[in-house]
Amino acid sequence: MNLKRVSPLLERESETVKLDLAPEPWNIIKCVETGIVFLENPPGYEALNEDFAWEKTYETEVKKRKTAEPLRYKISSLLKEFRLKVLKRNKVKELAKQQILNIKNSEQIQLLDVGCADGKALEIIISELPKKFHNKCVPNGIEISAALANEAQQKAKRGTWIHNNAVDGMLEFQDDYFDLVILSSFLEHEIEPLKLLKNTYGKLKSNGKVIIKVPNFDSWNRHLRKEKWCGFRHPDHVNYFTPATLKATALKSGFSKFKMKLSDRQPLSDSMYAVLTLSLIHISEPTRLGMISYAVFCLK
């Protein structure tokens, strides 16, 4: 059964406009008040767990793109392989290593990968750090796909690996626990992104950070390619963030520091990156809403 969503940033009904960017029966709409774009009628968590599990939809999407635009798909795949294997560019991995290296005076460094798949990503990051960090860093994960969560649990030699949706799975950890949480190519899948970030906020240590990677709905390629943009995945991508709406979501969830350099949101890239830091000072709701309005204004 499909859900009927309201604005994920306001968490209430608001004026919206429909965007002709998705095939039937999916409806992509834009909240007029905040500018956030989202899928109005996604499948629920149970369907995401089974029918629309990432390992299933990914293969379907690959086959579709190969068939529809074989030459474009081939070129895109070669460029991606060149970046990863030749240039060895993986921005999330580099951001994570940078944040870990900045952690001081900690006997254990607790890391969390939300949407961890088979659990390999954090172990690869840890292996590329100086040796003194290898035993200090403890990888943990949350994964909604039953098959992938089971694989991560079977392979894990340490840490906690949870099979659950991210919003509820985050609550299974104790408060003030994590030094670093990674949401890489995940927040676009989350039906309740604001709630997830609020739950994440409570699980971070005082100097904790969150790394986010999401598709950039404001990229030039999205405007050029329209409904054929590579950032669309129907129906498991349920949010489409711009730099402004991502910052607004982070601020409303409690994070006071939102770091996104120009190189993290370049219009030629289909992805964008941000690092969030929690606030140790309580921010009232009126003040927070003012910060959100300012963030949207600055990034327009």
Dihedral sign from CA coordinates of 88, 90, 91, 95: negative
Structure tokens at 31: 């909240």
DSSP codes, 12-42: B---EEEES-S-TT--EEEETTT--EEESS-
Structure tokens at 138: 């403890």
Amino acid present at 67: T
Please list the pLDDT of the chain residue by residue as tens digits (300 residues): 688 999 999 999 999 999 999 999 999 999 999 999 999 999 876 665 566 655 566 566 557 666 776 766 566 666 656 555 554 479 999 999 999 999 987 789 999 999 999 999 999 999 999 999 999 999 999 998 888 999 999 999 899 999 999 999 999 999 999 999 999 999 999 999 999 999 999 999 998 999 999 999 999 999 999 999 999 999 989 999 999 999 999 999 999 899 999 999 999 999 999 999 986 544 444 444 454 454 444 444
Bridge partner residues of 239 (DSSP)? 38
CA pair distance 213, 237, nearest whole angstrom: 13
CA pair distance 116, 248, nearest whole angstrom: 25
Residues in the chain: 300
- In the prediction, which pLDDT does 292 show? 47
Spatial contact of 239 and 171, defined as CB atoms under 8 Å apart: no
**pTM summary value:** 0.83
CA pair distance 115, 142, nearest whole angstrom: 6
Residues whose CB is less than 8 angstroms from the CB of residue 82 and which lie 6 or more positions away in sequence, other chains included: none
Rounded to an integer, what is the distance from CA 293 to the centroid of its chain? 22
- In the prediction, which pLDDT does 145 show? 85
